């Protein structure tokens, strides 16, 4: 459980995530890094779900981006295909919110590659709270980073599986 929010505003892409790792009702770690940047390809990915599964998927995403010369759309589709059909990957429990300068996607283990309408994506247990907050904040003069941070803060005040220890990446 976690909260990841992706915000696209004024030619800036920001992905923010909380740092809480829970096992059942117990907080195991409060400073986990659930948002990663692939510097070479200018892509940011945030993960919700099992940490080990998310790291595996991040590595796969990076290799797909390399294979498809940084084409995020193609890499996302190929990753989702593998995730759905590969016997090992099929068992992974995570969601990914990924974006580059032009596109943003949600990728799931059921083979979904969704390009949501609008400039906000939220995943994880507090994702819907973060989306609601971010959509309201998008109408203000706040930067994309400020919107993302405030959205996670709102989610952390509502969702018990989300904290306010932020990890933010932007391009």
pLDDT (tens digit, 9 = 90+) per residue, 40-57? 778 999 998 777 777 778
Per-residue model confidence (pLDDT) at position 18:
94
Q: Is 42 left (phi over 0), alpha (psi -120 to 50) or beta?
A: left
Per-residue model confidence (pLDDT) at position 86:
67
Neighbours of 31 (CB within 10 A): 12
Q: Does domain 3-170 sit in CATH 3.60.20.10?
A: yes
Neighbours of 154 (CB within 10 A): 22
Per-residue model confidence (pLDDT) at position 135:
96
Query: If we measure between CA atoms, which residue out of 65, 44, 46, 68 comes closest to residue 55?
Result: 46
Per-residue model confidence (pLDDT) at position 72:
93
* C-beta separation of 147 from 137 below 8 A: yes
Query: If we measure between CA atoms, which residue out of 120, 124, 115 comes closest to residue 133?
Result: 120
Per-residue model confidence (pLDDT) at position 144:
97
For the chain, the first-to-last Cα distance in angstroms comes to 25
Active-site entry in 2, 51, 140, 162: 2
Domain ranges of the chain: 3-170
The three-class DSSP label of residue 1 is: coil
Per-residue model confidence (pLDDT) at position 90:
59
Q: Is 85 a catalytic residue?
A: no
What is the pTM assigned to this prediction? 0.90
Per-residue model confidence (pLDDT) at position 137:
97
Per-residue model confidence (pLDDT) at position 153:
97
Residues in the chain where the model's pLDDT stays below 50: none
Per-residue model confidence (pLDDT) at position 98:
94
């Amino acid at each position: 459980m976690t909260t990841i929010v992706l915000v696209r505003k004024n030619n800036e892409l920001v992905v923010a995530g909380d740092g809480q790792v829970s096992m059942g009702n117990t907080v195991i770690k409060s400073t986990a890094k659930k948002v990663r940047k692939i510097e070479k390809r200018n892509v940011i990915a945030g993960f919700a779900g099992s940490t080990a599964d998310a790291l595996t998927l991040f590595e796969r995403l990076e290799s797909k981006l390399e294979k498809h010369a940084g084409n995020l759309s193609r890499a996302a589709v190929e990753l989702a295909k593998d995730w759905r059909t590969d016997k090992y990957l099929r068992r992974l429990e995570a969601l990914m919110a990924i974006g580059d300068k032009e596109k943003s996607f949600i990728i799931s283990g059921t083979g979904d590659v969704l390009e949501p309408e609008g400039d906000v994506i939220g995943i994880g247990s507090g994702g819907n709270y973060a989306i609601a907050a971010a959509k309201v904040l998008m109408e203000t003069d706040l930067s994309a980073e400020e919107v993302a941070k405030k959205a996670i803060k709102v989610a952390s005040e509502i969702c018990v599986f989300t904290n306010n220890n932020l990890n933010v990446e932007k391009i």
